[in-house]
Amino acid sequence: MVGVIFSMEAIICQEAEWILSQQLASGAVVTAYPGQPKIVPYFAHLALYGLAAWGLNLPRVRAYLDWYLAHLERPDRYGVTGTVYDYYLDEGGMEVPAYSYDSSDSYAATFLTLVRLYYEAGGDTAWVEAHWPELEVVAGAVLATLQRDNLTLARPDWPVKYLMDNCEVYRGLKDYARLLAEVKGAGEAGRYEALADKVKRALETKMRLNGGYCPAVYRAGLRRRPNWRRWYPDALAQLFPIITGVLTPQGEAARRLYANFLRNYPHWYRQTQPENFITTLVVYTAALMEDRWRVRQYVAGLEENIIARGHPWPYHAAEAGILLLAIKAYLAGGAAYQ
C-alpha cells in the first residue's frame, strides 16, 4: 500500500504540472485536439477541478477564472447572457471565438463548481466579493434554459434535456448556494439551494428508469431508455448522478447503479491504451464507490500507457484534472466534496 500511495502522490505532482503546461498566458486552458488546439471552457473547468481540489497553483486557477469572466457574452448569439464561447487559436496564437458552445447549462454550472473549489482551497473572499455581479450573471446562464419540469435544455436552440448536464446543473447550483452561504450568509443562498433540490427531484422523477436513468428527455417529455451497451452517452451518463452527488455513493441507489455498470463493463479498468482509452470519469466514480482494487489497476495502467508516453490523445487536460479528483477520493477512502 505504501508503494501505491507514493506512486499516486508522484502522479499528482506530474499531472498538475502537465495541466499547467496547457494554460496560455491569457489564463485560458487549451484542449490539444489533434490538428488544432481549442479552448473549450467545459474541459478547462474539469482540468482545473483537480488543481483547486488539491489547493495547487491557485493563482493559476484564479487567472483562468478571470479569463472566463472577462469573456462573458451579454448576450450571446442564442440570446443567453453569461455564457462563454469556445475559442480557436489561429496561426499567430490569437484566441478567436467560435461563436458557439456545446451547452449553456453545463459550461456555466461547472464554472460555479470550479469557483467553489477555488474558494474552499484558498479562502479568497476578496476575489469572490469583487466578482459577485459576474457570478450572478453566470448563475443566470445556468438557469436560462430551465423548464417548467425543473430540468434544463442543453442550449436554447437544442431542446434536449441531458442527464449529464442536469446532474452538473444540480452540482453547480448546490456549490453556488454554499458559496453564498459561506461568504454572504444563509439568506441569499436559499434560492439556489431550493433550485438545486428541485433539479434533483426532477432527475429522480423524470429521468430514473429501468435500474438507471434515461440519458435524455426530448420534446413533449419523450424519454430515451438507457442502452447500457451504448457507451456514449447512455452508459457514461449513468455515472453522473454519483459523480455530482445526486446520489450518495454510500447509498443503496448508488450501489445498484454502479453494480449495473460493472455488469456491463466488468473490465473497464484495463482500457488505458490510447486506442481504447476510457475516460477518467470512470475511475473517479470507482474511487467514490471505494472500488479500490479497480482504481489501483486503472491508475497503474494509465501511468504506463498514457502518462509515461507523453499524454497521447485522447487523453487531455480535463482527463488529468478528473484523475486528480479520483486520486484525492481514493486516498481519502471514497470521500468527496459535498
- Full DSSP string of 76-112: -TTS-SS----EEE-TT--EEE-S--S-HHHHHHHHH
Q: State the Cα–Cα distance between residues 273 and 145, nearest whole angstrom.
A: 38
Q: Specify the pLDDT at position 6.
A: 53
DSSP alpha helix (H) spans, the chain: 2-21, 41-54, 58-70, 104-122, 125-130, 132-143, 163-183, 186-202, 236-237, 240-243, 252-264, 280-288, 292-302, 317-331
By CB neighbour count within 10 A (0-12 exposed, 13-18 middle, 19+ buried), where does 264 fall?
middle
Conformation bin of residue 79: beta by default, left when phi > 0, alpha when psi is -120 to 50: left
Q: Which three cell numbers stand for residue 318?
A: 480535463
Q: Where are the domains of the chain?
A: 2-331
Q: Cell 433539479 sits at which residue?
A: 199
- How many residues does the structure list for the chain? 338
Q: Which three cell numbers stand for residue 104?
A: 449553456
Q: State the Cα–Cα distance between residues 319 and 130, nearest whole angstrom.
A: 31
Q: Specify the pLDDT at position 2.
A: 42
pLDDT tens-digit profile of 252-289?
A: 999 999 999 999 999 999 999 999 999 999 999 999 99
Query: Mean pLDDT, the chain, as a whole number?
Result: 94
Answer for the pair 211, 220: CB distance below 8 angstroms, yes or no: no
CB atoms < 10 A from the CB of 118, how many? 25
Q: What is the CATH number of domain 2-331?
A: 1.50.10.10
Q: State the Cα–Cα distance between residues 153 and 148, nearest whole angstrom.
A: 11
pLDDT tens-digit profile of 135-174?
A: 999 999 999 999 999 999 999 999 999 999 999 999 999 9
Mean pLDDT per 10-residue run, the chain (338 residues)?
A: 64 97 98 91 98 98 98 97 97 94 98 98 97 98 97 94 98 98 88 97 93 90 88 96 97 96 97 96 98 96 96 97 97 73
